Structure 1
Amino acid sequence: MKKIIAIFLMLLIAFSFTAEGQCAMCRAVLESGEGQDIAEGVNSGIKYLMLFPYLVIGGLLFFIYRKYRHSS
């Protein structure tokens, strides 16, 4: 089983693709001084999208903690 997981992880790493954080137009607008409202909107969107992975991981850790606390 460990061999299968190791092979899967090696293939996953070998065939991964790089992703750009922003398109060229978004980057140009954010780097210029004119799009302050747009930049604030993009930053708010990033914060919103980053919130949910932390909530999911925090929830999982909470349930794991609660499970081990009740079993001991």
Structure 2
Amino acid sequence: MKKIAFVFIFTVLSSIAINNTASAQCAMCTVSAEQSVKNGNTQGKGLNSGILYLLAIPYLLISGMGVLWYLKYRKKSTGYAGNI
């Protein structure tokens, strides 16, 4: 139990001590996309497609894991019910 507490405290203190500042460029990307659309370029569509792609991947992975877990659980529960 002491080892788990030590690892937890070490992890928390390490994550507090390591302070990486992120340079957010959302405003720059927004201005770039707006200007490209005004000039007739289609870069804004590509940017939006990339954002949707990055948004969809975690949901698909988690949904796939949920389906696999459900099928495995269902297989176990139906196997025992058939033997009774």
Decide whether aligned partners of structure 1 residues 12 and 58 sit closer, same or farther in structure 2, where only a CA change above 3 A counts: farther
Unaligned runs of 5+ in 1: none
Q: CA deviation at 1:21?
A: 5.6
Larger radius of gyration: 2
Q: Report matched runs for 1:1-72 at 5 Å.
A: 3=5, 4=7, 6-7=8-9, 10-11=12-13, 14=16, 15=18, 17=20, 19=22, 20=24, 22=26, 24=28, 26-30=29-33, 32=34, 34-36=35-37, 37-72=42-77
The structure in which a higher percent of residues are helix is: 2
Query: What is the TM-score with the length of structure 2 in the denominator?
Result: 0.55
TM-score w.r.t. the length of structure 1 is 0.61
Paired residues, number = 68
Identity of aligned pairs, percent? 34
* Deviation, structure 1 residue 56: 0.7
Structure 2 counterpart SS, 1:35: helix
- Higher mean displacement: 43-52 or 9-18: 9-18
Please give the secondary structure, in 2, of the residue aligned with 1:71. helix
